[in-house]
Structure 1
Amino acid sequence: MPTLSAEVADETAADLEAVADLLGDDEETTIEKALQEGLETLRIRVAVERYQTGDVSIGEAADIADCTVADWLEIAHEKNLTAQYTPEQLTEDAATAIDL
């Protein structure tokens, strides 16, 4: 497993220690959990932003968010996103579904 290092502010280090204590984990495990959850959140945020601007289709947003189309539709519903779905995208997604 690769090792990463980063310098953080004293306040962030104190927060890390406090959260590790709350979770009953060591700091390394807490960092890994926080990083994983943060990356998931960032992927969804980017997918939402690109979907809202019409830059990506439902399928592409799902790929960015690293989830299924069904999961993406749930995320979009939770975030009250307006559908950005053209007839061409419907045709493309239908073809993809048939290929599965």
Structure 2
Amino acid sequence: MPTISARLGDEEKAELDDVADLLSEDRSTTIRKALGEGLETLRVRVAVERYQSGDVSTAEAAQIADCSIAEWLDVARERNLTTQLQLSDLELDADTAAEL
């Protein structure tokens, strides 16, 4: 497993230690969990922004968010997302769904 280092301010280190204590885990495990959850959140945020602006289709947003189209549709519904889709976007989404 590769090692990555990061510099933390005193407040961030204290927060990390507090969360590690809450989870009864060491710092390294807490960092891995936080990074995993944070990356997932960032992927969804980018997918939401691009989908909402009309830059990506449903299938592309699902790929960005690293989830299935059904899971993406749940995200879109939960966030009341709307976008102007073209017929070609819907055809691409249907083709992508058929491939799955």
Distance 1:88 1:33, change over 3 A: same
Cα-Cα RMSD = 1.0
TM-score (norm 2): 0.95
Report matched runs for 1:59-78 at 5 Å. Answer: 59-78=59-78
Is the contact made by 2:62 and 2:72 (CA closer than 8 Å) also made in structure 1? yes
% identity of equivalent residues: 62
Within 2, Cα distance between the matches of 1:61 and 1:43?
9
Deviation (angstroms), 1:86: 1.8
Gaps of 5+ in 1: none
Q: Distance in 1 between matches of 2:8 and 2:84?
A: 39
Q: Given the two structures, how large is their TM-score scaled by the length of structure 1?
A: 0.95
- Alignment correspondent of 2:30: 30
Unmatched segments (≥5 aa) in structure 2:
none
Q: Structure 1: which 4+ aligned runs deviate by more than 4 Å? A: none
Q: Which residue of 1 aligns with 2:16?
A: 16
| Cα distance, 1:83 vs structure 2 | 3.8
What does residue 47 of structure 2 align with? Answer: 47
SS in 1 for 2:19: helix
